[in-house]
Chains A and B, each alone.
Chain A
Amino acid sequence: DAKTTQPTSMDCAEGRAANLPCNHSTISGNEYVYWYRQIHSQGPQYIIHGLKNNETNEMASLIITEDRKSSTLILPHATLRDTAVYYCIVRSHSGTYKYIFGTGTRLKVLA
């Protein structure tokens, strides 16, 4: 599975959009981009995933560049409860389905 690179930490003002970047320049054609987050002392929580089209659900939007080498997770109106570590992972839908987690981005939403 391809490796991802994320900033170590970011701050965002409450009510503003949080834009979390992820670089996955070695992604292959059959690999999806997944985002999870981990709030302190809890297990990771699935947020969203996509292959090449932009995706949106009730939690977030995922913007994938045309060359698929990078993506951005957007939380449109960040709240204090969105403070968490956000993991960007690439994974194919074949094989063992296991995720390789990196160290993620620690997002702090400020009041």
Chain B
Amino acid sequence: GESVGLHLPTLSVQEGDNSIINCAYSNSASDYFIWYKQESGKGPQFIIDIRSNMDKRQGQRVTVLLNKTVKHLSLQIAATQPGDSAVYFCAESYPGANNLFFGTGTRLTVIP
């Protein structure tokens, strides 16, 4: 879906805990999803992607879960570190689209 609103949802976690960031998407035709991390003053940095023919994909310390039934995507970060503090965006695309559609974003703050 497209981002709306003036204030980002926020999530604060203790260093070492696991983080779960959620994203709801609206287009049931979307078949490709990407999580990006954006630090202050920087561009979005690719974290992990998943296609709609999968429901789970793992990377280094990160896992993406896709629930197509309820159109929900989540990013799990294991053993969260201070360097993980950033805004996290989910992005989606569907067949025929030439671009990514970005969600609102969630600001993750890691407390040392």
Do A and B come together as binding partners?
no
